[in-house]
Amino acid sequence: MRAEPAKKIAILACMDTRLVPIRVLGLEVGDAHIIRNAGGLASADAIRSLVVSQQLLGTREIVVIAHTKCGLHRADEAALRRRIEDSTGAATDMGFGAFDDLDAMVRRQVEILAAEGALLDVPIHGLVYEVDTGQLRPVA
């Protein structure tokens, strides 16, 4: 198997186990690069991976996939920081990417990627995976 994705697609998706990007997009192993993190956020490291995917491995399309019933949806970041300090003894000012509006969050990730100068000007799609139905829907 080669490192270059056969479909030239890079997918940025949430790490949730209910979301299997290649399955919900009807792809096969080797068709796409898949970058996952909590929330499917366009973080600095996700962007770094997308740049490598484009520049070294030829991807020419990006798909961002978030999902319903995400743990970060309406999460209380201050409470999470307190929980971390209580359980580890270490304080943190880390941001976790909590959000109130799922579609707005996906649109924001697409905007961040579209504005990133180190990324090629390629199609970027925002999708939401509906956990209860197993369906994908585009975010306008």
Q: Domains of the chain by range and CATH?
A: 9-138 (3.40.1050.10)
Distances in Å between the Cα of 57 and the Cα atoms of 2, 18, 72, 127 are: 10, 28, 31, 23
Cα-only R_g, the chain: 16
Pair 120, 60: CB distance under 8 Å: yes
The per-residue pLDDT for range 58-77, each reduced to its tens digit, is 999 999 999 999 999 999 99
pLDDT computed for residue 1 by the predictor: 59
pLDDT the model gives residue 3: 80
Give, to the nearest 10 degrees, the angle between helix 102-115 and helix 44-57: 50
Tell me, what amino acid is at 48? R
SS3 (DSSP) at 64? strand
Residue-wise pLDDT for 71-130, tens only, equals: 999 999 999 999 999 999 999 999 999 999 999 999 999 999 999 999 999 999 999 999
What are 92's two structure tokens?
Answer: 């943190």
